[in-house]
Chains A and B, each alone.
Chain A
Amino acid sequence: MLKFIGKRFLQGILVLIGIYALTFFLVASTPGSPFSSERAMQPEILAQIEAFYGYDKPVGERFLTSVGNILHGDFGPSAVYANRTVTEIIAESFPVSLKLGSISLLVALLLGIPAGILAAVKKNTWLDYVPMSTAMAGICLPTFVMGPLLALVFGLIFAVLPVAGWFGPEFVVLPAATLGLYYAAYFARLTRGGMLEMLNQDFVRTARAKGVPEHMIVWKHCLKGGLIPAITFLGPALAGIISGSFVVETIFQVPGLGQWFVKGALNRDDFLILGLTVLFASLIVLMNLLVDIAQVALNPRLKYD
């Protein structure tokens, strides 16, 4: 098992390097340097910074230097925001995004999985139709429609929740709901599908023939296998929540990394883009590693190898 984790971990590192390289050369292939923006800067300082970060050197060398810097925890300066380093921005905004993201993921799991199980067990009743139609509707509405709609209903019409800013626990509710509900819909559909597949298996008939009560058939016999599709989706869900945060943080004015990434991308803030991409990719790679481990743990037919 340790060997398996080690192997997957190394693969993850390789993926990260690949992602970084791809992003780096994508960004580098855009003309100009991030420092040649409108920002007023004394030419000698500009030259100094450019030299320090190697913009006078060939791309390949710059790439290696930047990898070295990142390994030392230096993500470089922000090109657009004076006197701020990317490391500082991450240190400041990451906790916000982490909180928003993990609460959203929890909402998605805690709502989606039980709804999916219930829908599968009560197949073809209103307990199936209502949540599943809602889920389908949720999947069809883009986050940037869902967000403002929730803001309109709970922020303005009922006026029970704040719609913008990040000052206390109540500010988490609407952005986390916007992000989480969308993926709750996915988890619900996947869980329902997985559970239905299990409930249709022959071994369920065997269990019934043994006198196993229905609730134990669901929890003991079907849950493990039925959850596998949902677990597998955790990686894509995290990736989706990260890109969803680009939208949601903008709508609800949450000072998280998503907003920074959008600003960085639109303003060609090279170091910010690179730093955030590495961070996002690491999170996703880590999640996928956990998913790999969970899959083997859930399915005895798979082995750690």
Chain B
Amino acid sequence: MTDHSETAVLGNEAAPVPRHSASEIAEHELIQGSSLWKDAWSRLRKNRLAVASLVIFLLIVVASIVGPWLVPYNSQEQDLFLGATAPSAAHWFGTDTLGRDLLVRTLEGGRISLMVGLIATVVSLAIGVIYGATAGYMGGKVDATMMRFVDLLYALPFTIFVILLMVAFGRSMWLMFVAIGAVEWLSMARIVRAGVMGLKKQEFVEAAVSLGYSHKRIILRHLIPNVLGPVIVIATLTVPAVMLLEAFLSFLGLGVQPPNASWGVLINEGQQNMEIFPWLLIFPAFLFALTLFCLNFLGDGLRDALDPKSAKD
């Protein structure tokens, strides 16, 4: 009996042992991973506010994508004789000063705003995850330098740069995606780095290192899947931030350019006419705020669901 326990401690059985245990440990983590997601999902489902947010948000997304085809008006079609009319059976959201149907314009605006939110978030996600994972994984001086740089960037007045970029290089939508994405990746990088730092010390990563896997493989196959939870939360919260920034640019006339109109553009048009034609502000502003509301609540709900320790009830 004594013999048995001693060999286990000393690890006398040499080569095959680590290989075997590494794959076992990795598999074990995978299994744990899937049940983690299941748990998170069941916790999220119990959060009524988050579920309602998810449903409403999906409705808005579907309406924005499908809606414009179902409304019998074209968003560019002007009717200057009609002008701005209040909501009616023919025009549910009314018409704007150029006689354009507001419903179809709002739905198409939703398409653009949501697309801006999505693409800029993907840009920020890509930068943030790669940067954060690299810093966290490398550790030491590389990490210190990289994160000090992030700290410094945090101190910058970013909107100023986005404005200057838009002024200097024209008001293209693609530039806007990149400009917004490039300034919104900092939190993402921090979160991913923290996650990777914590995971790196765990056995299954050490096992992968001992197997001689390449850094790239370890980062992609082992670390990133494991920090996915917090990344999803931050991404969910980045979308509304990006949409707000786009609306801000639209106010300055630097956002989406006519004849296209995002919610930001519509809201800005609406607020200029709010005393005479209040519906021009109310509909786009309501949908915009509702979308942001849903995304924020969903993000909070996801955070609670994925990190049960922070769930307070």
Contacts and interface: CB of A to CB of B under 8 A. Distances in A.
A142 B312 contact: no
Interface string B217-260: 00000000000000000000000100010011001110000000
Given A145-B271, A148-B274, A288-B155, 16 more contacts: A11-B152, A12-B155, A15-B155, A23-B164, A26-B165, A27-B164, A136-B297, A140-B290, A140-B293, A141-B285, A142-B247, A236-B154, A243-B160, A246-B159, A261-B160, A265-B167
Contacts of B10: none
Nearest to A286: B155
Contact of A243 (B159, B240, B268): B159
B252 to A, nearest CB: 6
Contacts of A206: none
A266 B251 CA distance: 13
Nearest to B167: A265
Report whether over half of chain B's contact residues are helix, strand or loop; otherwise say mixed: helix
A122 interface: no
Interface of B: 152, 154-161, 163-165, 167-168, 240, 244, 247-248, 251-253, 264, 267-268, 271, 274-275, 281, 285, 288-290, 292-293, 296-297, 312-313
Interface in A280-305: 280-281, 284-285, 288
A242 interface: yes
B168 to A, nearest CB: 5
Interface in A29-82: 29-30
Interface of A: 11-12, 15, 18-19, 22-23, 26-27, 29-30, 123-124, 136-137, 139-145, 147-149, 152, 156, 196, 200, 235-236, 239, 242-243, 246-247, 261-262, 265-266, 268, 273, 277, 280-281, 284-285, 288
B232 to A, nearest CB: 19
A137 B281 contact: no
Given A145-B281, A145-B285, A265-B167, A277 B160 contact: yes
A113 to B, nearest CB: 19
